[in-house]
Amino acid sequence: MGRLSIVLLLGLTACALDPLERGALTVTTSVNRSDVSESNPGIVQVSAHNMSGVPVSLGMGSSSCALSLWVLTEAGQRHPVAGRICTMDLVRDREVLPGDRRTESFEFDGSVAVDGVVRRLEPNTYRLIGTAADKGESPAVEVRVVAD
């Protein structure tokens, strides 16, 4: 019984030392304009910076779609931006190495994907959030969708 307790304690200690829980991956989102429209979209950059001393895996999948951009509505719904095209390559593991930063750019004109259908948001102010798989989320930045 004593050995089981020691193994369990070591396992719990190792989990508590996960660098991601200490904020190893910092995600930021920035947009180049405060007002966007269909004819005048904004460029949004999502960056993930690995502040730890170990590689951080973003999982498997397309090498061009490791980061994501979401729009939060007033109703609390979260929708991905529309128009994202990912490459067909499937990399074994998408990692951000210690000290490295990964940045992806998105064009945002006020369109989101809702259940696979592209929908145009009503003119209003919305919050954008960038994510790095399930490893981190940026603080929200505001952008106003305006009519053309």
**Residue 102 within a domain:** yes
Structural domain boundaries, residue 94: 23-145
CA pair distance 141, 76, nearest whole angstrom? 15
Per-residue pLDDT tens for 70-80? 999 888 899 99
Closest of 42, 123, 135 to residue 83, by C-alpha: 42
Residue 31 has pLDDT above 70, yes or no: yes
Which CATH number is 48's domain given? 2.60.40.10
**Residue 65 within a domain:** yes
Q: What is the pTM of this model?
A: 0.80
